[in-house]
Amino acid sequence: MVSLFFVELSPFVSETAMRRIAPPIWLLALTVSGANIGMALLAPAIPLLRDDLSATADQAQLVLSAFLIMLGLGQLLAGSLSDMLGRRPVLLAGSLLFTVAGVAALISPNIEMLIVARALQGFGASACMAVGRVIINDSFERTEAGRQLSTITMIQSIVPLMGFAGGGLIADIIGWRGSVAIMVITSGVIFLANMALLAETNHNRVARAPFLKVIGVFFLLLRNREFLVHAASGALLTSAFFSLGGFMPYEFQRLGAGATIIGLLFSVTALGYMSGNNMSRYMGPRLGLEKTVFIGGVVSLAAMVVLLVLYMTGLTTALVIAGCLYLFGVANGLVVANSIICAVRAAGPNSGAATGLCGAMQMIGSAGFGSLIIALGGDQNFLLALGVVVVMSGLAALATWMGMRAPS
């Protein structure tokens, strides 16, 4: 059924587009950014959304977590399907679902329908993220792939920077549905642009495998120590980033900030992410990807420990928190892109499955830790929530150290 759907899309592809080999960088950046758009625009509006739909804190968190869970699970499927069927058809199908589900989210009359629509949005966005990343691996050698992915994620990081700030402003002016409308427009552009411009980059497709064999590939990857430590470092820091996005708006709200200011304050994390990615483009070739990732792991732990100490001593303000978030964003920029490249290279011929598994670990971890923090009362207890993030950052730093010591 899936393959039939892919075949039906092919008549719309021009011969000129299909002859293109290297997709433009802006197209890959836009495609991979789809998931960030799906998160960043709504995060500052969660307190308002919760009030508008008469939802509980746990239900409001599910608007974020459902998207992340399906974003993670979908990447497992998208990565493997792209190894078998090709990158292009999987990406087109996913971006179309992302758009249609966005329309459903826009017209949702209650929190339950919104959660379901957001889950479908995440499933569609997963193909954009997983396939967009593995296309880079198809097109460039190891170090250059790291540089290109860092360049793309630097461009991509502008999206949450604008999304957090713009999402809060839109929510204050016209409500949270305005943010969802922007998502629908953007995902539609992603679908149409890829349909017109993207050529197939997977010229060494693996044979279609039974479901159990596909699952076996994932277990094989999880037994690969080098893959696992690199994937874990990126997953832990990504999870910490999105967990902060789940509980930090409540702390900023307690400090007197409205949705617009919340978005502006949290957007410094994305600004740091952009700075870290820019630094990574130069540090990677000089120091090596593994050492660059390790430096990022240490910076992430330091930023969160400093914030925890300042909070416990009563010295935190909104600007102090924002400063620590900026440093944490820098660390993410140094770690995430490079850890994915290291993990995918360690996977050998199963690059699509490895990319999907990396993405799944990041998103499922983000949803799991984010929901756990809120369930434990992190929306009301900032110290508890921050303590969990410190532990996550510590584990990430440990994983980056192990990755640096792993054979390359």
Q: Would you give per-residue pLDDT tens digits along the chain (408 residues)? A: 333 333 333 334 443 333 345 677 788 888 888 888 887 788 778 888 888 888 888 888 888 889 988 988 887 788 778 877 788 899 999 999 999 999 999 999 899 999 999 999 999 998 998 888 778 777 666 666 667 776 776 676 677 777 777 877 888 888 888 888 988 999 999 999 999 887 777 666 555 555 666 677 888 888 888 999 999 999 999 999 888 988 888 889 888 888 788 888 888 888 898 889 889 888 888 888 889 999 999 999 999 999 999 999 999 899 999 999 999 999 999 998 889 888 988 887 777 778 778 878 888 898 889 889 988 988 889 999 999 999 999 999 999 999 888 765
Q: Phi and psi (nearest 5°) for 90?
A: -65, -40
pLDDT of residue 41: 81
Residue 53 CB coordination number (10 Å): 18
pLDDT of residue 135: 81
C-alpha 272/C-alpha 296 separation (Å) is 12
Tokens for 213, please give them: 């064999």
C-alpha 32/C-alpha 215 separation (Å) is 25
DSSP reduced 3-state for 298: helix
Max alpha carbon distance in the chain (Å)?
Answer: 65
Q: Which helix (H) or strand (E) covers residue 314, if one does?
A: none
Tokens for 104, please give them: 């459903």
Within 276-382, strands assigned E span none
pLDDT of residue 204: 65
Q: Where do the domains of the chain lie, and which CATH numbers do they carry?
A: 2-8+23-200+210-403 (1.20.1250.20)
pLDDT of residue 60: 86
pLDDT of residue 19: 34
Tokens for 99, please give them: 């758009």
- Name the pTM for this structure: 0.74
Q: CA angle 343-391-61, nearest 5°?
A: 85
- Residue 394: Cβ-neighbour burial (10 angstroms; 0-12, 13-18, 19+): middle
